[in-house]
Structure 1
Amino acid sequence: MQSCNEKKNATDVVAERLDSLFTARYSIIENGENIPGGSVYILKGDTVIFEKSYGVADLNTGAAIDGNTFFNIASVSKQFTAMAILQLHEEGKLSLEDDMSKYFPEFKADFFKRIKIKHLLSHSSGLPDLRPREDRNFVLTATDKESIEFFKELDHLNFEPGTNYEYQNPTFQLCFAIIEKVSGQTFEQYMKEHIFTPAGMDETVYFEAGREIPRMAHGYITEDNGATWKEYDYGEESFFATKADGGIYTSTHEFAKWEKALRDNVLISDSLKQIAHSPITTVSNSTYSSYQNRPYTSYGYGWFIEQKPGMPKKVYHTGDNGGFQIYAGRFPEKNILVLVFENRNDQSRWSMVEKIDSILKEAGMLG
């Protein structure tokens, strides 16, 4: 009985410390008004360690954020696209060793024969991002297919495929096209039928202009030195309309179903999942990309991997799109999932993540 009480008390202490952390994080701007915030959900297996939401999803309506509020999870979407490719690979419908000339004969440069699907998934293709950012209308409305048109005339690589890391969104838009070509379905049809539905994510959707998403949060940024908030999502943020690299809208409760599907190997075999969650491209000290260029960090197939001394392996992804700031971290060996979905991007993510990890470690949950 005593050990049960001690365990309960330890969990309570963790919850209190986490609540203090997030209460302080979302109360930096104190003016007596509703402000954007976030939804936090931390699980160990199927047990909720901590769940609480802060702030409002929509400044116009004042609707409060909760575990069923839908956020644009931005680049956290990449792991879902990667999963579709891995699924098709395991079914023998494509190979990670297939090169781009097989799927895009219209791409003229010979180097596309050296770029394989595995390079797209691991940000090691060497392809540059040459989308025309000076065209304001294009960047606000461009679809996945429109975003890869420039590859037809591309005449150089930044580095030889497989030799370095450079985080790129258009490589996942190439995956969008490959999934459609191989499956014979639209990207959204495939993802719903083969990824979302088997995972039990029945409400998760991709953004599309004009699509009504119930319980949707709006993203916000600060102006006037933090004194006011400005809505910043579709119509304000570049490349918000693409799907494969960052288009998913989901909630923390829905995402927890994804975690269970991964844990139970619902979508692919455990052996292939372990490959996807293994270091493939070294991120630390890359000379080509600053995104997530952090110590002890690599990229697998759709996930970052952190192997910090004294800590269990972390498999994670972050997302930044307009006013949305998203963190989804997993400690697979400990069956721990940490979700922080925010509709504001005015504060450091990494100081928060490090504090969460410290709280969990000090409680013996990561030991």
Structure 2
Amino acid sequence: MKNNRQNLVGPLLWVLLLLMTNCATKGGVSKETKNPKTMKLDSLFSYLYEHQLFNGAVAVVDQGDLIFKKGYGMANLEDSTGFSTETSMEVASVSKQFTAAAIMHLEQGGKLSLQDDIRKYLPKDFPYEGVKIKHLLSHTGGLPDYTDYFLDNWPSGQLANNKNIMAFFMEYKPKMMFAPGTDYSYSNTGYVVLAEIVESASGQPLNQYLEENLFRPFGFNHAGFYHRSEIYGLENYAPSFMWSTDSCAYVRPENLPGKSYYYFLSDRLGPGRLSLSVEDLLNWDKLLYTDDFIGTGKEEMFTPVEFEGVETDYGYGFHNYLDEKVGAVSYHTGSWAGNLSYIKRFRDIKSTVVLLNNTHHSAYMKQIREAVDAIITNRKPKPILPDLAEHYQKLSCEPGFDLSAWLSKVSDVNYSYTEEDLQEIRQNLHQ
């Protein structure tokens, strides 16, 4: 284990990052030079990395062939560890498809039914009636959210786990949002409860169940559930970072003002916390085309649930839709404490996109997803431009930065900005 130190990482580190591009970038396949999509992807991510818009790993499968797989930048900014496709990172809500898969696997083994009332597997004081397992899988259960209570009442230095969350519901019994199966509301609560159901039905906590039945047997070599207190000292791991304008540096997100919940709400099983590498997610993608872990029942994961009066694209652990050009698509995103993750499966054409990023460029990540999706489906990607205000925040931290000189060159550089952005920056000339 490395020392769990609190180093700050400033913008000058990006100079080192650029120098390390060749050694920190790993991956590639033999068919790369033969596929024009590979060249487009390589050009896109080289540009993104050069302009500090992406730090992480990516893989793209095109019609069953792996055509692009690389890591960019640093996984751990506190010790300059390179980010590769074998680097593990917390994938946040991408975890939900694995919680759903555990439930489906238990149903396949006869340990439960998706039609079961959830209270069959929960403590007798759990208050909510009429909620079935299938409701929780599809975010149609109507269970209230726990977040506000823990933000207002939980000690910031103490981890809140699933048992603490369940105890809250049993003690305070907050009102349901709606009757089960009558509406849709994305619910971390539902997936916390699903993790408890896995433990009740199998006799193992969710993390142990997945390790024993999925990760170890099927070669998920970098998968694991870790406590936030340990991730900054793990080998071959990408802990999260967010930019601090006060410190002019990338810092641990829980150290930012008002963000302590990134620490004390990091111990939940079910809705998040799972860590995976790009290699693991590629392995998962291949496995989902087989019946080796879940049989034909897995199609329910890829089919929007149908309840009268409910509009949703969610199946069990995946958003789903039909693309008019390429057919069936299933995907999920993840966002937590600076980490952004993405897996999209264009199932009819057997193409897949996997993205991991641990430095919280949320606006860029959305644009990157759309650009890669466009390339893989033979559409024209939109250009991704650096945000003027964000670029200014970082450049202004550099010693000797000349705001006036920089502003004079702004019109010569392709930035994404509004006149309001520019006016706000100009005001700094007079302060």
Separation (CA, whole Å) in 2 of partners of 1:166 and 1:51: 35
Paired residues of 1:122 and 1:281 also in contact (CA < 8 A): no
Gaps of 5+ in 2: 1-30, 381-431
- Work out whether residues 162 and 268 of structure 2, in 8 Å CA contact, stay in contact via their aligned partners in 1: yes
**Residue aligning to 1:116:** 132
> Which residue, 303, 324, 336 being the options, matches 1:278?
303
CA deviation vs aligned residue, 1:34-70 (integer Å, no higher than 9, x gap): x970100112466321112111111121111111111
Corresponding residue pairs, total: 338
Q: Please name the residue that 1:82 is paired with.
A: 100
Decide which of 162, 168, 173 is 1:150's aligned counterpart: 168
Contact 1:36 1:58 in 2 (8 A): no
What's the CA shift for 1:304? 1.0
Distance in 2 separating the partners of 1:187 and 1:14: 39
CA contact (8 A) 1:36 1:56 kept: no
Specify the alignment match of 1:174 in structure 2.
193
Q: Quick check: which has more Rg, 1 or 2?
A: 2
Q: Aligned pair 1:22/2:40, yes or no?
A: no
Q: For residues 311-355 of structure 1, what are the alpha-carbon distances to aligned partners after superposition, in whole Å with 9 as ceiling and x for unaligned?
A: 422111111010100011111111112100001112323322221
Match of 1:254 in 2: 280
Aligned counterparts of 1:180 and 1:138: Cα–Cα separation in 2: 27
CA offsets, 1:246-295, max 9 Å, x none? Answer: 111111012211112211221111x211122101169xx97xxxxxxxxx
Aligned twin of 1:220: 241
Q: Normalising by structure 1, report the TM-score.
A: 0.84
Retained in 1: the 8 A contact 2:326–2:348?
A: no
| Match of residue 291 from structure 1 | none
Mean alpha-carbon deviation: is it higher for 217-226 or for 70-79? 217-226
| Superposed CA offset, 1:227-261 (max 9, x none) | 53222269661521212211111110122111122
CA shift for structure 1 position 129: 0.5
Cα distance 1:226–1:309, how it changes in 2: closer, same or farther (>3 A)? Answer: farther
Find out whether 1:197 has 2:216 as its counterpart: yes
Question: Does the C-alpha gap of structure 1 residues 182 and 89 become closer, same or farther in structure 2, counting only changes over 3 Å?
Answer: same
**Among 303, 310, 313, which residue is 1:298 paired with?**
313
* 8 Å CA contact retained: 2:326, 2:346: no
The answer (yes or no) to whether the contact 1:198–1:267 under 8 Å persists in 2 is no
Query: In the alignment, is the contact (CA less than 8 A) between 1:233 and 1:321 conserved in 2?
Result: no
Farther-moved stretch of structure 1 (44-53 vs 193-202): 44-53
Q: Which residue of 2 aligns with 1:232?
A: 253
Contact 2:340 2:362 in 1 (8 A): no
CA 1:137–1:45 in structure 2 vs 1: closer, same or farther (change >3 Å)? farther
- CA distance 1:253–1:226, change in 2 (3 Å): farther
The answer to whether 1:186 aligns with 2:205 is yes
Give structure 1 stretches of 5+ with no counterpart. Answer: 1-7, 30-34, 287-296
* Structure 1 residues 116-167: Cα deviation after superposition (integer angstroms, max 9, x where no partner): 0001110011111034211352696111221222221324211111111111
Q: Corresponding residue for 1:294? A: none
**1:13, 1:343 → 2: CA distance?**
28
Between the aligned partners of 1:363 and 1:220, the Cα distance in structure 2 is 33
Is the CA contact (8 Å cut-off) linking 1:232 and 1:323 kept in structure 2? Answer: yes
Cα deviation, residue 207, structure 1? 1.4
Q: Structure 2 vs 1, CA of residues 28 and 207 (structure 1 numbering), >3 Å: closer, same or farther? A: same
Letter of the structure 2 residue corresponding to residue 358 of structure 1:
A
Mapped partners of 1:75, 1:256: distance in 2: 17
User: Among residues 250, 255, 269, which one is paired with 1:243 in the alignment?
Assistant: 269
Q: Percent identity?
A: 30
Q: CA deviation at 1:13?
A: 2.3
CA contact (8 A) 1:307 1:314 kept: yes
Contact 1:14-1:363 within 8 A present in 2 as well = no
RMSD of equivalent CA atoms: 2.8
The one-letter amino acid paired with 1:357 is D
Secondary structure at 1:265 match in 2: coil
Contact 1:220-1:233 within 8 A present in 2 as well: no
Give the CA deviation at 1:198. Answer: 2.8
Q: TM-score, normalised on structure 2?
A: 0.72
**Gap change, CA 1:107 and 1:223, over 3 Å in 2:** same
- Structure 2 counterpart of 1:248, which letter? L
Aligned to 2:417: none
Q: Is the 8 A contact 1:222 1:228 kept in 2?
A: yes
In the alignment, is the contact (CA less than 8 A) between 2:118 and 2:133 conserved in 1?
yes
* Structure 1 segment 119-134 matched on structure 2, within 5 A: 119-131=135-147, 132=149, 133-134=151-152
Matched, 1:57 2:67: no
Matching of residue 313 in structure 1 with residue 328 in structure 2: yes
Whether the aligned pair in 2 keeps the contact of 1:56 and 1:62 (CA below 8 Å) is yes
User: 1:203 is paired with a residue of what secondary structure?
Assistant: coil
Match of 1:71 among 89, 95, 100: 89
